[in-house]
Amino acid sequence: MNKNSQKRAWQRMLSGRRLDLLAPSPMDIDINDIARGLACVARWNGQTTGEHAFSVAEHSLMVADICVDILPTIAPELELMALLHDAAEYVIGDMISPFKNALGFDYRQFEQKLEMAIHISFGLPAKPTDLQKKLIKQADLACAYYEATQLAGFSVAEANKFFDTPQNLSKTIVSTLKNIHPLSVKQAEANFLRRFHQINQAMQAV
């Protein structure tokens, strides 16, 4: 068979693993691959201010922080779900919502398979409950609101229209969200890994 006619559906990771994109296995998931990938993926298709792109890794850390702010008694398991809520993007990239909508349901099924493999790999339920998803979504939208107004050029009026004004956040977390500073790839990767290991240790202690 001509090698040019062979369609490859797996990706080699820096860890040496081969991730089958059509049937992802939890055994082929590595947190170092995820951290590196997310630190290199830009939110908002790179259309943000600052010396560095605002990465999915940094966004994920902020979403986890917001979840803790909303629910101070959060279980480590749920905090880890929040940190990993966009982890599939280390393979598929951060597609903006309009493009996801254009691709339709098949894309979402592909994304869900990968999300399930990631969850299982780190000892989480394959799918979050509706309540867990609701909290993470609330935090995700709150983060997007402040990213939009602080980094992506949205006016407050535009952000209120598309994302809704975040509610019930502490003054401390709001102050942090109003002072977002995009990090370098190296720093975002290191921060993501540090948070993952902190949460993982807390999970093991439960």
- Per residue in 40-52, pLDDT tens? 999 999 999 999 9
Mean pLDDT of the chain: 90
What is the per-residue pLDDT across 17-61, written as a single tens digit (0 to 9) for each? Answer: 888 887 888 999 999 999 999 999 999 999 999 999 999 999 999
Q: How far apart are the first and last CA of the chain?
A: 53
Lowest mean pLDDT among 11-15, 79-83, 121-125: 11-15
Mean pLDDT lowest among 6-15, 38-47, 192-201: 6-15
For the chain, which domains are there? 27-205 (1.10.3210.10)
For the chain, the three-class secondary structure string (H helix, E strand, C coil) is CCHHHCCCCEEECCCCCEEECCCCCHHHCCHHHHHHHHHHCEHHHHCCCCCCCCEHHHHHHHHHHHHHHHCCCCCHHHHHHHHCCCCCHHHHCCCCHHHHHHHCHHHHHHHHHHHHHHHHHCCCCCCCCHHHHHHHHHHHHHHHHHHHHHCCCCCHHHHHHHHCCCCCCCHHHHHHHCCCCCCCHHHHHHHHHHHHHHHHHHHHHC
Write out pLDDT tens, residues 164-179.
889 899 999 999 999 9
* Residues in the chain, overall count: 206
* pTM summary value: 0.89
